[in-house]
Structure 1
Amino acid sequence: MFKFSFAAPVVPMFAVALAGGAAALPVTAQAAGGAYYRAELASPAPKGKFVARGIVWSCEGTNCVGARGTSRPQMMCAGLAKEAGEVKGFIADGKALEAEDLARCNGAA
Protein backbone atom coordinates (compact mmCIF):
# COMPACT_ATOMS: atom_id res chain seq x y z
CA MET A 1 0.00 0.00 0.00
CA PHE A 2 0.96 3.62 -0.48
CA LYS A 3 2.24 5.36 2.63
CA PHE A 4 2.06 9.16 2.72
CA SER A 5 4.00 11.29 5.17
CA PHE A 6 3.71 15.06 5.60
CA ALA A 7 6.67 15.42 7.95
CA ALA A 8 9.48 15.10 5.43
CA PRO A 9 8.36 17.62 2.79
CA VAL A 10 6.78 20.11 5.22
CA VAL A 11 9.87 20.74 7.36
CA PRO A 12 12.15 21.66 4.44
CA MET A 13 9.45 23.86 2.89
CA PHE A 14 8.96 25.61 6.24
CA ALA A 15 12.71 26.16 6.59
CA VAL A 16 12.90 27.58 3.06
CA ALA A 17 9.96 29.88 3.79
CA LEU A 18 11.66 31.20 6.92
CA ALA A 19 15.03 31.60 5.26
CA GLY A 20 13.57 33.31 2.21
CA GLY A 21 11.11 35.51 4.08
CA ALA A 22 12.93 38.70 3.15
CA ALA A 23 12.76 37.76 -0.51
CA ALA A 24 8.97 37.79 -0.32
CA LEU A 25 8.86 41.48 0.70
CA PRO A 26 8.02 44.03 -1.98
CA VAL A 27 11.09 45.43 -3.70
CA THR A 28 10.23 48.98 -2.58
CA ALA A 29 10.22 47.96 1.08
CA GLN A 30 13.52 46.12 0.73
CA ALA A 31 15.20 49.01 -1.05
CA ALA A 32 14.02 51.47 1.59
CA GLY A 33 15.18 49.29 4.46
CA GLY A 34 11.63 48.32 5.39
CA ALA A 35 10.18 51.83 4.95
CA TYR A 36 6.60 51.85 3.72
CA TYR A 37 5.88 55.47 4.65
CA ARG A 38 8.03 58.47 3.78
CA ALA A 39 7.33 61.96 4.97
CA GLU A 40 8.82 65.41 4.73
CA LEU A 41 8.20 67.71 7.69
CA ALA A 42 8.01 71.51 7.65
CA SER A 43 10.73 71.66 10.33
CA PRO A 44 13.17 69.11 11.77
CA ALA A 45 11.62 66.40 13.92
CA PRO A 46 12.01 66.94 17.68
CA LYS A 47 13.25 63.34 18.12
CA GLY A 48 15.18 60.97 15.87
CA LYS A 49 12.96 57.96 16.70
CA PHE A 50 9.50 57.81 18.21
CA VAL A 51 6.25 55.84 18.05
CA ALA A 52 3.13 57.26 16.41
CA ARG A 53 0.01 55.23 15.51
CA GLY A 54 1.73 52.03 16.55
CA ILE A 55 4.81 52.21 14.35
CA VAL A 56 8.35 53.44 14.93
CA TRP A 57 9.22 56.52 12.91
CA SER A 58 12.85 57.33 12.19
CA CYS A 59 13.60 60.92 11.29
CA GLU A 60 16.71 62.65 10.13
CA GLY A 61 16.16 66.39 9.93
CA THR A 62 12.88 66.89 8.08
CA ASN A 63 12.81 63.43 6.46
CA CYS A 64 11.00 60.58 8.21
CA VAL A 65 10.38 56.92 7.35
CA GLY A 66 8.26 54.22 8.94
CA ALA A 67 7.28 50.60 8.39
CA ARG A 68 3.75 49.69 7.30
CA GLY A 69 1.02 50.19 9.88
CA THR A 70 -2.57 49.03 10.09
CA SER A 71 -4.33 52.37 9.54
CA ARG A 72 -5.12 54.29 6.37
CA PRO A 73 -2.27 56.51 5.11
CA GLN A 74 -4.13 59.70 6.09
CA MET A 75 -4.43 58.45 9.68
CA MET A 76 -0.75 57.48 9.76
CA CYS A 77 0.10 60.96 8.50
CA ALA A 78 -2.07 62.58 11.21
CA GLY A 79 -0.33 60.50 13.88
CA LEU A 80 3.04 61.64 12.58
CA ALA A 81 1.90 65.27 12.51
CA LYS A 82 0.75 65.06 16.14
CA GLU A 83 4.16 63.81 17.23
CA ALA A 84 6.51 65.68 14.91
CA GLY A 85 4.72 68.76 13.56
CA GLU A 86 3.44 69.86 10.18
CA VAL A 87 3.85 67.37 7.34
CA LYS A 88 4.72 68.90 3.94
CA GLY A 89 4.64 65.62 2.00
CA PHE A 90 3.55 62.07 2.78
CA ILE A 91 4.06 58.94 0.66
CA ALA A 92 2.60 55.50 1.42
CA ASP A 93 3.87 52.58 -0.67
CA GLY A 94 5.16 54.98 -3.32
CA LYS A 95 1.87 56.90 -3.59
CA ALA A 96 1.73 60.53 -2.38
CA LEU A 97 -1.22 61.87 -0.41
CA GLU A 98 -3.34 64.34 -2.36
CA ALA A 99 -3.17 68.00 -1.21
CA GLU A 100 -6.66 67.75 0.32
CA ASP A 101 -5.74 64.66 2.37
CA LEU A 102 -2.46 66.26 3.42
CA ALA A 103 -4.39 69.31 4.69
CA ARG A 104 -6.67 66.99 6.69
CA CYS A 105 -3.61 65.20 8.03
CA ASN A 106 -2.20 68.45 9.41
CA GLY A 107 -5.62 69.69 10.54
CA ALA A 108 -6.09 66.60 12.72
CA ALA A 109 -2.87 67.42 14.57
Structure 2
Amino acid sequence: MALSLSLSRAVPAAVVALGWTALSFGAVTATPAEARGNAPHYTVELAAPAKEARTIAGGIAWSCEGTTCVAGKGSSRPEVMCARLQREVGQIASFTTDGNALPAEKLASCNSK
Protein backbone atom coordinates (compact mmCIF):
# COMPACT_ATOMS: atom_id res chain seq x y z
CA MET A 1 0.00 0.00 0.00
CA ALA A 2 2.79 2.42 0.90
CA LEU A 3 4.51 1.62 -2.42
CA SER A 4 1.40 2.41 -4.47
CA LEU A 5 0.90 5.68 -2.58
CA SER A 6 4.46 6.89 -3.17
CA LEU A 7 4.30 5.73 -6.80
CA SER A 8 1.12 7.72 -7.34
CA ARG A 9 2.94 10.84 -6.12
CA ALA A 10 6.16 10.15 -8.05
CA VAL A 11 4.59 9.70 -11.48
CA PRO A 12 2.97 13.18 -11.68
CA ALA A 13 6.18 14.76 -10.37
CA ALA A 14 8.20 12.95 -13.05
CA VAL A 15 5.78 14.09 -15.75
CA VAL A 16 6.05 17.70 -14.59
CA ALA A 17 9.85 17.48 -14.46
CA LEU A 18 10.02 15.95 -17.93
CA GLY A 19 7.69 18.61 -19.32
CA TRP A 20 9.72 21.40 -17.74
CA THR A 21 12.94 19.94 -19.17
CA ALA A 22 11.43 19.76 -22.64
CA LEU A 23 10.18 23.36 -22.44
CA SER A 24 13.46 24.72 -21.13
CA PHE A 25 15.45 22.80 -23.76
CA GLY A 26 13.26 24.29 -26.49
CA ALA A 27 13.87 27.78 -25.12
CA VAL A 28 17.63 27.26 -25.06
CA THR A 29 17.84 25.85 -28.59
CA ALA A 30 15.61 28.58 -30.04
CA THR A 31 18.01 31.35 -29.02
CA PRO A 32 20.82 30.61 -31.55
CA ALA A 33 18.26 30.32 -34.36
CA GLU A 34 16.88 33.72 -33.45
CA ALA A 35 20.39 35.16 -33.30
CA ARG A 36 21.30 34.06 -36.82
CA GLY A 37 17.83 34.66 -38.24
CA ASN A 38 16.07 32.53 -40.78
CA ALA A 39 18.08 33.71 -43.78
CA PRO A 40 18.54 31.04 -46.45
CA HIS A 41 22.00 29.60 -47.06
CA TYR A 42 21.49 29.47 -50.83
CA THR A 43 19.74 32.11 -52.93
CA VAL A 44 19.31 31.47 -56.64
CA GLU A 45 17.98 33.56 -59.49
CA LEU A 46 16.64 31.52 -62.38
CA ALA A 47 16.61 32.54 -66.04
CA ALA A 48 12.88 31.71 -66.20
CA PRO A 49 10.22 31.38 -63.46
CA ALA A 50 10.16 28.06 -61.64
CA LYS A 51 7.36 25.70 -62.61
CA GLU A 52 7.02 24.31 -59.08
CA ALA A 53 6.98 26.17 -55.75
CA ARG A 54 8.99 23.38 -54.08
CA THR A 55 11.58 20.97 -55.36
CA ILE A 56 14.19 18.63 -53.94
CA ALA A 57 17.69 18.94 -55.38
CA GLY A 58 21.04 18.11 -53.87
CA GLY A 59 19.33 16.41 -50.96
CA ILE A 60 17.64 19.59 -49.72
CA ALA A 61 14.25 21.23 -50.16
CA TRP A 62 14.16 24.37 -52.29
CA SER A 63 11.37 26.96 -52.14
CA CYS A 64 10.84 28.90 -55.34
CA GLU A 65 8.72 31.93 -56.11
CA GLY A 66 8.94 33.40 -59.58
CA THR A 67 12.60 33.37 -60.56
CA THR A 68 13.97 33.18 -56.99
CA CYS A 69 14.73 29.93 -55.15
CA VAL A 70 16.10 29.59 -51.62
CA ALA A 71 17.24 26.71 -49.43
CA GLY A 72 19.04 25.85 -46.24
CA LYS A 73 22.57 24.50 -46.18
CA GLY A 74 23.37 21.25 -47.95
CA SER A 75 26.40 19.02 -47.58
CA SER A 76 27.87 19.46 -51.08
CA ARG A 77 30.06 22.20 -52.56
CA PRO A 78 28.17 25.15 -54.08
CA GLU A 79 29.13 24.07 -57.63
CA VAL A 80 27.58 20.66 -57.06
CA MET A 81 24.44 22.12 -55.47
CA CYS A 82 24.10 24.48 -58.43
CA ALA A 83 24.36 21.66 -60.97
CA ARG A 84 21.85 19.51 -59.09
CA LEU A 85 19.35 22.34 -58.88
CA GLN A 86 19.89 23.25 -62.53
CA ARG A 87 18.87 19.72 -63.55
CA GLU A 88 15.56 20.22 -61.75
CA VAL A 89 14.65 23.83 -62.58
CA GLY A 90 16.63 24.82 -65.68
CA GLN A 91 19.08 27.64 -66.41
CA ILE A 92 20.44 29.48 -63.38
CA ALA A 93 21.22 33.20 -63.74
CA SER A 94 22.99 33.54 -60.35
CA PHE A 95 23.82 31.24 -57.45
CA THR A 96 24.71 32.73 -54.07
CA THR A 97 25.97 30.83 -51.04
CA ASP A 98 25.78 32.71 -47.75
CA GLY A 99 26.02 36.01 -49.62
CA ASN A 100 28.91 34.91 -51.88
CA ALA A 101 28.09 34.69 -55.58
CA LEU A 102 29.32 31.71 -57.55
CA PRO A 103 32.03 32.95 -59.98
CA ALA A 104 30.96 33.32 -63.63
CA GLU A 105 33.07 30.40 -64.87
CA LYS A 106 31.62 28.05 -62.24
CA LEU A 107 28.10 29.28 -62.99
CA ALA A 108 28.69 28.56 -66.70
CA SER A 109 29.92 25.08 -65.79
CA CYS A 110 26.84 24.56 -63.60
CA ASN A 111 24.51 25.44 -66.46
CA SER A 112 26.33 23.21 -68.96
CA LYS A 113 25.72 19.99 -67.03
Gaps of 5+ in 1: 1-11
- Report the secondary structure of 1:20's partner residue: helix
Distance 2:87 2:54 in 1: 14
Structure 2 matches for 1:53-92, cutoff 5 A? 53-92=58-97
- Report the secondary structure of 1:81's partner residue: helix
- Report the secondary structure of 1:57's partner residue: strand
TM-score (norm 2): 0.73
Bigger Rg, which one? 2
Residues 1:100 and 2:109 aligned together = no
TM-score (norm 1): 0.75
- Report the secondary structure of 1:103's partner residue: helix
Distance 1:66 1:86 in 2: 17
2:29 to 17, 21, 26: 21
Distance 1:99 1:56 in 2: 25
Which structure shows the higher helix fraction?
A: 2
Structure 2 matches for 1:39-50, cutoff 5 A? 39-50=44-55
Distance 2:106 2:21 in 1: 44
Distance 2:108 2:29 in 1: 37
Cα distance, 1:58 vs structure 2: 0.5
User: Residue type of the partner of 2:89?
Assistant: A
User: Residue type of the partner of 1:70?
Assistant: S
Number of matched residues?
94
